[in-house]
Amino acid sequence: MPTTRPRHQITETDEIAEAIDAGLREWPDLSRSDVIRELIVKGADALNLSAAERVLAFELALKQLEDLDIQYPPNYLDEVRRGWGRYD
């Protein structure tokens, strides 16, 4: 497609392929090229968040976890650690 805009070439390394595959799980109707565009835009959006916005987003995520009101039984961590095999 003709354009006056700069074009960029990217090699699909293993790491890039994994990122594209993750994007395809999120946006299954998009082509690999369109997923690359979405990943770039979403990545830039994340990078453009100010430090204060990142803190607020983190605090919001923690609040959402607290709102789940998950109650673990007594000795839950001990049981989990026993399953790791290092605390037997």
| Number of structural domains found in the chain | 2
Residues 57 and 75 both lie in one domain: yes
**Over the chain (88 residues), what is each successive 10-residue block's mean pLDDT?**
88 96 96 96 88 89 88 88 73
Q: What angle do CA 67, 51, 56 make, to 5 degrees?
A: 15
Residues 55 and 30 both lie in one domain: no
For residue 14, what is the enclosing H or E element? Answer: helix 14-26
Range of the domain at 65: 51-88
Residues 68 and 38 both lie in one domain: no
Residues 61 and 43 both lie in one domain: no
Q: What is the pLDDT of residue 87?
A: 52
Alpha-carbon span 24 to 30, nearest angstrom: 7
Q: What is the pLDDT of residue 66?
A: 86
Model pTM above 0.75: no
Residues 63 and 35 both lie in one domain: no
Q: Are 18 and 35 in contact (CB under 8 A)?
A: no
